[in-house]
Every structure is written in C-alpha cells, then in structure tokens.
Amino acid sequence: MTEKTGHQEAELPKAVLKRLIKSKLQEYDKSRGGDGTRDFQINKEALLAFSEASKLFIHYLTSMANDICKDAKRQTVNAEDVLKALTDMEFEEFVDPLKEALEVFKTETREKNKQKAEASKKRKAEAAEAEAQAQLQLAEVTFRRFEELNQRGSVSLQEFDQAKANYDVAQARRKRTEEARSSLEARKKQIIANLEEAKTFYNYTRIKAPFAGLITQKIVAEGDLASPGSPLLVIEDNHHYQLEVFIDESQVSKIKTGEIIEVEIDASGEGKIKGKVSEIIPQVDPVTRTFLVKVDLPLLPSIKSGMFGKAYFPVGKRTCILVPREALLECGQLSSLFIVNPQGQVERRLVKSGKEYDGKVEILSGLDIGETIVVRDIFKVKEGCRVGKKS
C-alpha cells in the first residue's frame, strides 16, 4: 500500500470519460423504449461536472478501501477491499457487476499467460528445429563427401563410420524437433478449443432477457434443477403497455389501425390520455360476437399491468351546442342559463341538458346557435341587468 503526498489527483482521460457517459446514456435511452443508438452530445460544462464527480467518487472509494486494508494489517489494497468499500458506501448494485468483470479479467489473463507460455515454447521449438535442420544439412554434406572418399579408398573405415553416425544422429534430432513442434501445435489447438468451450459455458451462466422490463414472477428457487424449455422468470415489458378492448362486430369496421383515440384508466389518475390503435385481431369471438382491439399506451409510470381502462372510439359526427359547465344553473331537476338578449339585458331561460364532454355540457333544447350567454360570475348576475360582451 503506497501513499502519495501532494495535491496531484488522478484524472480520467476525457475521451474515455466521454465514451463511457455516451454508452450509459444510450443504455438508459434503450431502457426507456429507444433503440439505444442515439448519438448524445455532451457539452464542456457537463463533461467537466462528470469529471469532477468521478474524481470525488474515486477519491472517496480509494480512501475507504485504504482504511479497510489498514484495518486488516495488510500492505496492498486488493479487490475484496474495493468491493467491501462499495458495500459500505451503499453502492451494492455495483458489487455483482464488478465481481463478474473481475472473474472475466482473471479468466482472460490466465488464458493470455498460457498463450504467451505456449508461444515462447513454440519459438524455442522452432529455433531448435532450425538448428537441427542446419546440423542435418551439414552432416549430410559431410557424409556424402566421406562416402565418395571411402569409395576411392581415401579415408579410413573409422572416419567413414563416424561421419555416417553423425548423419544418423542429425536425422534423429531433426525428427524429434518436428515431433515437438507438432505436439506444441496440437496443444495450442487444444488450449484454444478449451478457451472457446469455457466461454460458451460462461455465457450459459448469464441469462439475458430479450428486452428490458420488470420481473413479475419468479418460478424457480435456488437449488432447483433447470431443464431445457422450463421457464425461470416472467418478465413484463413495462415500456410498451397496451389496452385490450373488445368491440362489437357491428362497430369494428369503423375502427382503423393507426387511429389516435382517447383512453381513460381510472386507477392511474391521469385522466384521459391519447392511445394508438396498433392491432385489430381478425377473428370474432363466436360467443360474444366481439373483436379484440389492441391500443398502444404512452409511457407513464402510473400505468401498471392488469389495470382496468376505457377506450373511446369515434363512430360518427353530429352537430351540438356545448356550453361551459360553470355557466349552467341547476335547481333539482331543472337546468337554466342566463341569456343576453339583443338589448343587452339578462334573461333566465330553462334548458334541457345532455352529456358532458371535457368540462362542457351539451344543450339539447332551449338555446339556439348564435345566442349569447353569461359564463362567469353567474351568481352575481340578476335578471334584467345589463351586461357587456367580452371583446
């Protein structure tokens, strides 16, 4: 464990920090329903803020890991000290990903060291093979020369036998080096195959969902035997909720895919929201004589799976008179309005009201198009008084 004095602090390279921030922003964008490929732009002030925050976090994490190492009376901070520091800092969500990354790093490091050792052995084997080849060539040339001299009787039998023995030894050495190189090549292939197999088995230890969502049901428990085809979890796509509506067969022809309609989900507390007709199932229920229509809902945190909702489909158009709800006077079963006559005087008139639409009430009778009514301060108005029109 080494302590440095002074005010110099480690700083992440800006290019690395910028790439890391963009990657995290794209992951967040994908979790919110995006495609995860958006090119986010980060201005200098934001990059500086991220840089300062990362330095503070690294400094605090390093200090805590250093204290843990001191308490354990060790001289070197290890990975377990960092993991414990993260837990103490209440960043438990970082612990498992960090452990996983460490295991991957250790595995890759071991394999790289093995490959380096094998590469070193291969270089030595190739050098030995080249040396054996050179000695074999020299021994062969020497043997051929002594063979010709022996045929002419210019060398003794002992000298000829020595040259032949040297040639045989060089051939045997050459053969051994070839076998050693072939053995190293086979071992290298075996190591690569083992590495690929280890990676395959490692990938099996991670279950990756096809989409980002919320786990709504856990089917298996720790210690259960997992078999192919058996579900482990139920995941809900909480970014793309749909409202399923059953429409009478006599009305389904008036609904079109892609149509924007109003939807109301009482439990969400959002009032009326906009939905989009995404699919009309082309099969009628033989019992209820209805079609299933699916409506895409906007991304709202208050909407949950299983909630009851209502969809409003426009099936026709008609002309009606609507007045603000606050302009209507009600007394028991009677409804009335203050009408301003052509002379500018207020008259109270009984009307028949109908349905209410977004804070406005339909007037079925008692009011004609073009007439002027009082819509504000109606309790301060009396019949016969004069009022002016709002410009």
Phi/psi for 372 (5° steps) reads -100, 135
**Model confidence at 277: pLDDT above 90:** yes
The chain-wide mean pLDDT, for the chain, equals: 81
Q: List the CATH number of the domain containing 21.
A: 1.10.20.10
Burial tier of 336 (Cβ tally within 10 Å: 0-12, 13-18, 19+): middle
Residue among 240, 346, 252, 249 at smallest CA distance from 295? 240
What is the residue range of 359's domain?
Answer: 321-380
Are 198 and 245 contained in the same domain? no
Q: What is the pLDDT of residue 4?
A: 39
On the question of pLDDT at 121 being above 70, the answer is yes
Q: What is the pLDDT of residue 244?
A: 94
Q: Is 353 exposed, middle or buried (0-12, 13-18, 19+ CB in 10 A)?
A: buried
- Summarize pLDDT for 130-171 with one digit per residue, the tens: 777 777 787 777 777 777 777 777 777 777 778 778 878 888
The answer to whether residue 35 is domain-embedded is: yes
What pLDDT band is residue 3 in, cutting at 50, 70 and 90?
A: very low
Average pLDDT over residues 98-114: 80
Helix (H, G, I), strand (E, B) or coil at 345: strand
Mean pLDDT for 278-305 is: 91
Highest mean pLDDT (candidates 5-14, 72-81, 144-153, 347-356): 347-356
Of 109-123, 224-238, 333-347, least confident by mean pLDDT is: 109-123
What mean pLDDT comes out for the span 88-98?
Answer: 77
Q: Which residue has the higher pLDDT, 23 or 302?
A: 302
Q: What is the CATH number of the domain that holds 280?
A: 2.40.30.170
Q: Give a yes or no: residue 387 inside a domain.
A: no
d(CA 146, CA 152): 10
pLDDT band at 318 (very low <50, low <70, confident <90, very high): confident
Which of 312, 331, 355 marks a domain boundary? 312
In the chain, count H helices and then E strands: 5, 13
CA distance 63 to 74: 15
Order across the sheet with 310-312: list the strands.
242-248, 290-296, 272-280, 260-264, 310-312
Write down the pLDDT at residue 216: 85
222 domain residue, yes or no: no
Predicted local confidence at residue 281, as pLDDT: 93
Are residue 253 and residue 167 in the same domain, yes or no?
no
Please report which helix (H) or strand (E) contains residue 19, including its range.
helix 14-31
Q: Would 267 be classed as within a structural domain?
A: yes
Is the same domain home to 83 and 112? no
- 40 and 76 co-located in one domain: yes
Same domain, 75 and 114: no
Question: Residue 34 and residue 39: Cα distance in Å, rounded?
Answer: 12
Q: Does 6 or 328 have the greater pLDDT score?
A: 328
Q: Which of 57, 90, 123 is the last residue of a domain?
A: 90
In the chain, the percentage of residues whose pLDDT exceeds 70 is 94
- pLDDT attached to residue 98: 78
User: In 3D, which of 297, 211, 236, 206 has the Cα closest to residue 36?
Assistant: 211
* pLDDT per position as a tens digit, 7-66: 444 455 667 777 777 777 777 777 666 777 777 787 878 878 877 777 777 887 888 888
Residue 133 and residue 174 in one domain: yes
Which of the listed residues 204, 227, 248 is the one where a domain comes to its end? 204
Q: How far apart are CA 250 and CA 236, in angstroms?
A: 33
Residue among 119, 103, 100, 129 at smallest CA distance from 191:
119
**Do 118 and 193 share a domain, yes or no?**
yes
Average of per-residue pLDDT across 107-121? 79
Q: 268 and 279 in contact (C-beta within 8 Å)?
A: no
192 shares its domain with 142: yes
Q: Is position 26 within any domain? A: yes
Query: Domain check: are 110 and 193 in the same one?
Result: yes
Of the candidates 313, 317, 328, 312, the residue with the CA atom closest to the CA atom of residue 362: 328
Query: Is the distance from CB of 237 to CB of 296 less than 8 angstroms?
Result: no
Residue 354, classified by CB atoms within 10 Å of its CB into exposed (0-12), middle (13-18) or buried (19+), is: middle
Is residue 358 classed as helix, strand or coil in its secondary structure? coil
For residue 91, what pLDDT is reported?
Answer: 76
On whether residue 389 sits in a domain, the answer given is: no
Hey, is 21 helix, strand or coil? helix
Q: Which of 380, 379, 366 is nearest to 335 (CA)?
A: 366
In a domain, residue 74? The reply is yes
Same-domain status, 121 and 198: yes
The answer, yes or no, to whether residue 366 has pLDDT greater than 80, is yes
pTM of the model: 0.41
Q: Are residues 79 and 109 in the same domain?
A: no
CA distances from 245 to 142, 160, 285, 288, 336 (A): 97, 103, 13, 13, 38
pLDDT of residue 288: 92
CB 216, CB 236: distance < 8 Å: yes
Whether residue 2 is contained in a domain is answered as: no
Helix (H) or strand (E) segment spanning residue 72: none
Question: pLDDT at position 64, please?
Answer: 83
User: Do 329 and 292 fall within a single domain?
Assistant: no
Count of domains in the chain? 4
Q: What is the predicted pLDDT for the residue at 69?
A: 86
Cα 254 to Cα 294: distance, rounded to the nearest angstrom: 15
